């Protein structure tokens, strides 16, 4: 069974990587809801001088230097209501954009995820059919969407069209990977499911 789990994880990782790559390269689904900055040069220049270090920034921020009093909360809520509000993953220093390295990392993420899912399929193989094993992988992708993609939409206002496209591309990618994995991680010939 260990060989089937390893092979199923490898194949699942490759399939999920390739299908999600297709969605990003051959369709516009990977860019739904993403816009470029207007007046980018001026905005980036201002960011270089105004934001001292790389980090994850949430704005508006609450001034907690005086504690979390009702006045601090009221000031934050007013700033939030007035806007702008958002989250910024900011890297101050430039660097080389290594597309190959980023693709390799993405593949490794898919591979690790597929190995975990193949392990789960191996644990359940004696009590599942091909369809239910494929469904386990698909349902796991929906679970991931509920705990990762939806909270970003909820708390940080990620665009709804981006969130829906993100969930769709990953769920379909993992559904197809699950079909392949379920065919590999299966009971021994002659064993009943």
Domain boundary assignment for the chain? 2-36+98-184
How many residues does the structure list for the chain? 193
Q: Contact at 8 Å (CB) between 33 and 163?
A: yes
17, burial (CB in 10 Å: exposed 0-12, middle 13-18, buried 19+): buried
pTM above 0.85, yes or no: no
| Closest to 11 (Cα-Cα) out of 137, 99, 135 | 137
Mean pLDDT of all residues in 124-132: 93
Residue 192's pLDDT is 52
The span from the CA of 174 to the CA of 19, in Å, is 8
pLDDT digits (tens, 9 = 90+) for 23-79: 988 888 888 888 898 999 999 999 999 999 999 998 898 777 777 888 888 888 999
* pLDDT for 99 beyond 50: yes
pLDDT digits (tens, 9 = 90+) for 156-177: 889 999 999 999 999 999 999 9
Phi, psi of 58 (to 5 degrees): -115, 130
């Amino acid at each position: 069974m260990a060989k089937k789990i390893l092979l199923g994880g490898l194949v699942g990782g490759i399939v999920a990587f390739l299908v999600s790559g297709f969605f990003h390269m051959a369709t516009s689904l990977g860019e739904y809801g993403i816009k470029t900055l207007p007046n980018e040069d001026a905005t980036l220049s201002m960011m270089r001088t105004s934001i001292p270090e790389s980090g994850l920034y949430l704005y508006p921020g609450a001034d907690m230097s005086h504690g979390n009093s009702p006045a601090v909360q009221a000031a934050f809520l007013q700033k939030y209501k007035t806007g702008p509000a958002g989250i910024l993953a900011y890297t101050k220093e430039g660097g080389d954009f290594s597309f190959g390295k980023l693709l390799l990392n993405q593949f490794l993420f898919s591979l690790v995820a597929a190995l975990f899912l193949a392990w789960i399929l191996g644990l359940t193989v004696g009590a599942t059919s091909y369809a239910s094993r494929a469904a386990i992988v698909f349902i796991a992708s929906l679970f991931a969407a509920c705990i990762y993609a939806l909270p970003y939409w909820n708390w940080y206002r990620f665009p709804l069209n981006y969130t829906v496209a993100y969930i769709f591309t990953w769920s379909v990618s993992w559904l197809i990977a699950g079909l392949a994995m379920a065919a590999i991680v299966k009971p021994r010939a002659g064993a009943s499911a």
